Amino acid sequence: MFLLSSLGLSGQIYINEFLASNQRGIVDFENSHEDWIEIYNTSSIPISLGGWYLSDRTSNLKQWKMPDTLTINPGGFILIWASGKDTVVGHEIHSNFSISRDGEPLYLSNRDGNIIDYIPPVKLKPDMSFGRIPDGRRDTHVFYRPTPGKSNWSDGVSPVARQLSFSHVQGYHQDDFDLTIEADDEGVEIYFTLDGRPPDTNAIKFSGAIAINDRVGVPNDISDIRSGVGSFWEPPRGEVPKIFAIRAKPFCQGLPCGEEIYGSFWTGHHNPEDLQIPIVSLIIDPYYMFDDEEGMYVPGVDYEKTGFDNSYRRGSAYERPASFTYFDSLGHLGIHQQVGVRINGGITRRAGQKSLRLYARNAYGNNQFEYPFFSDRAHSNYRRLLLNTPMGDWTKTVFKDELTTNLVKPLGLEYQAFRPIIVFLNGEYWALHFLKERRDRHFLSALSGVDESKIERLTNNMRINEGSRTHFQEMLNVLDNTPKNDPDYIDKIARYIDLNNFIDYHIVQIYLANYDWPRNNHEYWRPNTKDGKWRWIFYDLDASMRTYWDDNFTHYTIPFDQTGIAPDREWATHILRSLLENKTFRKQFQDRFFVLMQTTLSAENILKALDAITQEIAPHMPDYTMRWQIPRSTYEWRENISILENFAVKRPGEMMQILKQTLGNPFDIYPNPGTDLKLLFHKAIDKEDVRSISLVDMNGKTFIPTVQVLDKEIIADVSHLTAGQYVIQLNYNGQLFRAIWVKI
C-alpha cells in the first residue's frame, strides 16, 4: 500500500492550515518565530510526499521540493516551516521561501508537477492562521487560535476568529445615543472596559447597550496621577473633559475567540467641526503607562532609586502596544490602527505631559501609517510619528519650535512637518500636542526619494545613526589640509557639502539664538551616492528666541581656545569657523545673512508668522492651561508670547551690530581709490533705511554729500571734494558703519 502512486491518492492530501505572520507563536530550532504550513492526510494509509512540491509562486510550482524520505501518516499532520532556511534539522523541515502576510497563493503539487491543493491569497493579521474546518474539508476560515501540527478542532472549541463591530461610527456625535456591540456568531459573549485595560471575563459583560453621553461628573482617574517631577508637573484644575474609550473582546466558552476592537465616542464637547482641529484618541493599558514598576509615564521606581524617571527607559524593550485613532479637522474618522508606543525626547521626559513616539509595524497589523496627515508633504505613508508635547518650549509659548519651522519652510531645509492636535488618553483629555514626522531614514527617504539603504545620517560629533562617517571624515580632511587662500578651496568643499543648505541652516540657527545648539541637536545626512552631499536637518528650536542680545556668532570668527567653549565641543563650530577664513565663503555667508535678515528673518515676517500661529493655538489654551498649568493661565501665555515679539523687533539691530563687529560692513566701496564714490550693498536696500551719510577728512571736517539710493547701491556726489583720505560714516537701519575711502 505504501508504494501506491501518490497520484491516485492526491485528493486526500491538503494544505490544512498556514500562518504568515508569526509574532508570538511557536518557535523553531533557532528559537525564531517563523511562518509555517500544515499538511494533512485524510486517507487511512501512509503516503510518501518525497519529491512533492510547495510553492508561493504561480510561475514556479516547483519552487521547493520536499525531502525524499518524507512520509505522512494516515490522519496525520506534517508541519513545514516556511522560513526560507531550506534545511532539515531533526524533525523540523524548512522550505526555501516564506509567506507574505499581505497575501500570496500557496500550491501543493505532486512529483509530476500536478497541482494537488491550492489556497488563494489571504491577508492575515499577526498570529492569526488560515485553515480548514473540519480538517481536510473545503470550508476555510481565519483562525484566532492557530493549531500547528494538530487537528483544527482539537480541544472542542472552534478556532475560527469571531468578529465584533460597533453599531455607530467612531467620533463625535451631536446627541447622546445607545451604543451596541455586535458579534458575528450567536454563541459569543462580549466583555469590555472603559479605562484602557484589556478586557477579560472579569471585565464588564456587554448586555443591551452602552449609553454614550458627555461624561460630565465622571471623576478624573489617570489625569490626577503625578507624571512629572517637581515643577515639571501640576495637577489639573478640576475635572477634565472625557470621552468613551472602549476596548471589547469576544469570548467563546470562556476562552478568547477573536480580536479586540477599540472605539472612541463622545458627545457634548470637542466638536471637531467647531474647533477645526484634529483629535487623536490613544488607548493603552494603563499598567504600561502609570504602574510604579513598569509605567513609562511616571517617575516610578527608577526615580526613587536613581533620580531618573521610568520615562528615561529607552529601546524596543520598552515599546508598548496601543490603539491609535485619528479624526480629521472636520471630525471624520481618518485612520484607526494598532501601534507601538515609546516615550520620546530629552529633558521633556521629566515633564508631566510627555512626547510619545508611535511605531507602525507588521507585529501590530500594519507597517505604515497610510494617511495624508500633512498638507505640505506630497507623500502619505509614514513609518514613525510623534505626538510631541508643547512643554519643550523653554519660554512656554508652547509653539516656538513650530513657529520657527514655519519660518524656514521656504528655504528648502529638511524640517519635520507638523500639525496641532488634541489628544485623549484612555478617554481623558490630554490637551494640545503637535503631531510630527520623526527624523529617521524613513523620513529622509520619503522626502528625497533616496532608498533607505543609501542614507547616511550623523548626529552631533559624527555619531552614526545610519550608514558610515567615512565620507564626512574625508571632507574634514580636505577642510583642514587645504590652504584657505587656495582658489579652488570652495569648489573642493562643495564636492562634499551642499553649501547653500549649510549657509541657510547656520544663519537661521544663529539669528534665532538657539541656546541648545550647536553643541546639541546637530544632525546631518547625505545620499550614499557618488555625488551625494551633506545637508543639515532643521529641528528642535524650543530653546531659541529667548534673548535678542545673545551673541552666538562671534566665537565662529576667533580662535577656538579664546571662546571659552569646552574643548570636547570644538567640533560644533569647527566647519563654519574654518570656512569663514576663506574670503570668498565669508562674503557669500555675509551676503546671504543680510538677504535673510531682510526677508525670511525680518521683524515683519517673524511677527506675521507669530500672529498666525498664535491665532491658531489661542482657542485651545484655556483648556490646556487648566489641564497642565504650565503656563498657569492664558494671561501668562500671552506674556510669554510678548518675549517672542520683543525678540522679533530688537534682534535685527542687535544682529547687525554683531555682524559689523565680526564680518564687517554690509557694503563694499567702489572704486577705492577713485574719483567717484559708490557703496555697493550685499542686499537690496530701502531708502528709509539710509538714515544719514557723511564723509570726514583728515582734519576732522565733515561733508554731507548728495546721494542717490538705488536698489543695491548708493551713489554719492563727491565732485567738490579735494583729493585725500576720508572716513565714510553711514547710519544704516539704526547702525553706524565706517569705512576708509581715498579720492584721487
Residue-level pLDDT at 32: 95
Q: What are phi and psi of 487, to 5 degrees?
A: -60, -20
Calculate mean pLDDT across residues 129-140. 92
Give the 3-state secondary structure percentages of the chain, helix then strand then coil, rounded to 5: 25, 30, 45
Q: Is the pLDDT of residue 743 over 60?
A: yes
Q: Is the pLDDT of residue 562 over 50?
A: no
- The model's confidence at residue 41, banded by pLDDT at 50, 70 and 90, is very high
Q: Is the pLDDT of residue 722 over 50?
A: yes
Residue-level pLDDT at 567: 56
**Three-state secondary structure along 532-569?**
CCEEEECCCCCCCCCCCCCCCCHHHCCCHHHCCCCHHH
Between CA 713 and CA 730 the distance in angstroms is: 13
Residue-level pLDDT at 496: 98
143 against 392, higher pLDDT:
143
pLDDT (tens digit per residue) in 654-666: 998 888 888 888 8
- Please give the model's pTM, rounded to 2 decimal places: 0.87
- The model's confidence at residue 7, banded by pLDDT at 50, 70 and 90, is very low
Residue-level pLDDT at 559: 61
Calculate mean pLDDT across residues 709-720. 92
Residue-level pLDDT at 64: 97
pLDDT (tens digit per residue) in 45-70: 999 999 999 999 999 999 999 999 99
Residue-level pLDDT at 625: 95
Residue-level pLDDT at 593: 93
Residue 133 near residue 16, CB atoms below 8 Å:
no
- The model's confidence at residue 5, banded by pLDDT at 50, 70 and 90, is very low
Neighbour-count burial of 315, counting CB atoms closer than 10 A to its CB (0-12 exposed, 13-18 middle, 19+ buried): exposed
Residue-level pLDDT at 4: 30
Calculate mean pLDDT across residues 79-91. 95
Q: Which of 152-161, 383-392, 422-431 has the highest mean pLDDT?
A: 422-431
Tell me the one-letter amino acid at 258. G
pLDDT (tens digit per residue) in 224-237: 999 998 888 999 99
- The model's confidence at residue 2, banded by pLDDT at 50, 70 and 90, is very low
Between CA 431 and CA 435 the distance in angstroms is: 12
Q: Is the pLDDT of residue 563 over 50?
A: no
Calculate mean pLDDT across residues 675-702. 88
Mean pLDDT in the chain? 92
Residue 416 near residue 403, CB atoms below 8 Å:
no
pLDDT (tens digit per residue) in 348-367: 899 999 999 999 998 898 99
Angle, vertex CA 58, rays to CA 57 and CA 64, nearest 5: 45
Calculate mean pLDDT across residues 367-375. 96
Calculate mean pLDDT across residues 253-273. 93
Calculate mean pLDDT across residues 132-139. 90
pLDDT (tens digit per residue) in 282-331: 999 999 999 999 999 999 999 999 999 999 999 999 999 999 999 999 99
pLDDT (tens digit per residue) in 481-513: 999 999 999 999 999 999 999 999 999 999 999
Q: Which helix (H) or strand (E) holds 524?
A: strand 523-527
Calculate mean pLDDT across residues 580-598. 91
Enumerate helices (H) and strands (E) in the chain, giving the number of each: 13, 44
Residue-level pLDDT at 683: 72
Residue-level pLDDT at 568: 58
Residue-level pLDDT at 395: 65
Between CA 503 and CA 600 the distance in angstroms is: 14
Residue-level pLDDT at 394: 66
